[in-house]
Amino acid sequence: MIAIACDHSALELKAEIKALLEQRGLEYKDFGTDSEASCHYPIFGARAAKAVASGECDRGIVICGTGIGISLAANKVKGIRCALCSDTYSARMTRAHNDANMLAMGARVIGVELAKEITAAWLDTPFEGGRHKTRVDMITAIENGEDIEP
């Protein structure tokens, strides 16, 4: 189950990404917004992120104008690693190396076709584990207030 959310600036792109998920036979839960009325992106970023952090959803995709605000909001939820991507290389690598459990995109930054390619790359790439797990675990340790100095 994929959590998906956006603000008012990204309704069209969210619809395209939902269609892509449907084509791939992936279930999603839409956490809003569902209107073009100006809204506050942290509300929707947090809703999707909490669903991922709680295990209700496996991964999440969040979209705002730049992708920055909604990714910042998602990353404030414990357990979330939300990567803002504007290229397919970063989308692949943030799965392979960072085990990013959420993807953020900027609807005013990238086009629809690139956003779909980024989403596909992010969905299809597994985490490599190994030395990358050590580093991801260090990120979690920072989140837990632990000292990661060697």
Q: Tell which one of 66, 90, 94, 119 touches ligand RB5 (CB under 6 A).
A: 66
CB of 3 to ligand RB5, least distance (A): 18
CA dist 107 and 130 (Å) reads: 34
Q: Cβ closer to ligand RB5: 14 or 97?
A: 14
CA dist 65 and 28 (Å) reads: 21
Amino acid (one-letter) located at 129: G
Distances (CA, A) of 40 to 5, 43, 57, 118: 12, 6, 22, 25
Q: Tell which one of 2, 5, 7, 28 touches ligand RB5 (CB under 6 A).
A: 7
Is residue 65 within the footprint of ligand RB5 (CB under 6 A)?
yes
Candidate segments 58-66, 74-82, 111-119, 130-138, binder of ligand RB5 by CB under 6 A: 58-66
Sign of CA dihedral 17, 20, 24, 28: positive
DSSP bridge pairs for 30: 4
To the query of whether residue 97 is one of the catalytic residues in this protein, the response is: yes
CB of 147 to ligand RB5, least distance (A): 32
Instruction: List the catalytic residues.
Output: 64, 97
